[in-house]
């Protein structure tokens, strides 16, 4: 009988911890929108498992980036990963197929860009609005092929870099740009020698407020101490203890019409 009492106690303690992590919608003192951009994908599985564990819905911005596995994030080898995230109820936005950075606008309405990946990686190209729409469509096509689902029509420019012509181009193909709040910068791109995970977590827990969009990556090549393993779960738990709830951008009052 003693093992039954121990088992019951363990269940009670587990339920108590889980209850502390959950905030009923009626008790929400605000909502934070977690978003993740593709990257090296070194933390992809950890992020997915942590969100699943805490029943948090987030939004993922997809580009076809080289991963630590030697493949690319929108290759067929990632199909089951994206399918599982979609089944979990997450939302998905566009990050350009070849992770294309805008450089500058040109007088004729076109603009210069530099893809990070693909056949034109590292080259300076001159694009029109139609060219940019085709680039965004490549992500849509790949995601639908991998998952059978469709993207929401919001987009995040690599590096968050924008120009007037670029914004106008994306608007012509139905995309609304989504950046992140100042307090929503995770800092996962910063050098870990100067910015420890503890300092980044403390800043986020202190400064994030209702309505803020938070941004992190699914792995950064350059950071020696990855952000997610140390910070993601404490961030979720810490914000929930402050009464914060989480939602995808599909529920954002200013973005829901762009689903």
pLDDT tens digit sequence for 32-59: 999 999 999 999 999 999 999 999 999 9
Report the candidate in 161, 180, 42, 146 with the shortest Cα–Cα distance to residue 96.
161
> What is d(CA 5, CA 19) in angstroms, rounded to the nearest whole number?
21
Overall average pLDDT of the 84-93 stretch? 98
Portion of the chain with pLDDT greater than 90, in percent: 86
Q: Above 90 in pLDDT, residue 87?
A: yes
Overall average pLDDT of the 141-145 stretch? 98
Overall average pLDDT of the 99-117 stretch? 98
pLDDT tens digit sequence for 190-238: 999 999 999 999 999 999 999 999 999 999 999 999 999 999 999 999 9
Q: What is the pLDDT of residue 254?
A: 83
Which pLDDT band holds residue 185 (cuts at 50, 70, 90)? very high
More confident residue, 180 or 24: 180
Q: Above 50 in pLDDT, residue 9?
A: no
Task: Spell out a b/e string for 148-170, using b for 16 or more CB atoms within 10 Å of the CB, else e.
Answer: eeebbbbbbbbeeeebebbeebb
Q: What is the pLDDT of residue 248?
A: 97
> What is d(CA 200, CA 184) in angstroms, rounded to the nearest whole number?
11
Q: What is the pLDDT of residue 27?
A: 80
pTM: 0.89
Q: Above 60 in pLDDT, residue 146?
A: yes
Task: State the SS3 of 21-65.
Answer: HCCCHHHCCEEEEEEEECCCCCCHHHHHHHHHHCCCCCEEEECCC
Overall average pLDDT of the 94-108 stretch? 98
Overall average pLDDT of the 149-178 stretch? 96
């Amino acid at each position: 009988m003693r093992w039954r009492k121990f088992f019951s106690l363990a269940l009670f303690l587990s339920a108590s911890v889980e209850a502390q992590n959950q905030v009923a919608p009626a008790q929400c003192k605000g909502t934070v929108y977690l978003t993740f951009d593709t990257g090296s994908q070194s933390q992809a599985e950890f992020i997915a498992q942590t969100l699943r564990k805490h029943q948090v819905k987030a939004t993922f911005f997809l580009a076809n980036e080289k991963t630590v596995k030697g493949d690319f994030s929108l290759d067929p080898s990632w199909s089951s990963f994206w399918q599982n995230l979609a089944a979990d109820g997450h939302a998905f936005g566009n990050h350009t197929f070849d992770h294309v950075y805008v450089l500058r606008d040109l007088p004729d309405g076109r603009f210069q860009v530099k893809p990070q990946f693909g056949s034109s990686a590292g080259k300076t190209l001159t694009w029109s609005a139609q060219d940019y729409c085709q680039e965004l469509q490549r992500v849509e096509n790949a995601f639908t092929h991998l998952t059978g689902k469709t993207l929401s029509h919001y987009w995040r420019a690599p590096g968050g870099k924008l120009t007037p012509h670029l914004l106008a181009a994306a608007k012509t193909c139905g995309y609304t740009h989504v950046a992140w709040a100042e307090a929503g910068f995770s800092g996962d791109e910063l050098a870990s020698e100067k910015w420890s995970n503890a300092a980044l977590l403390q800043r986020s827990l202190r400064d994030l407020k209702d309505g803020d969009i938070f941004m992190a990556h699914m792995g950064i090549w350059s950071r020696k101490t990855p952000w997610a393993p140390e910070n993601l779960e404490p961030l979720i738990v810490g914000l929930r203890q402050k009464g914060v709830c989480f939602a995808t951008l599909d529920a954002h009052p200013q973005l829901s019409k762009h689903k």
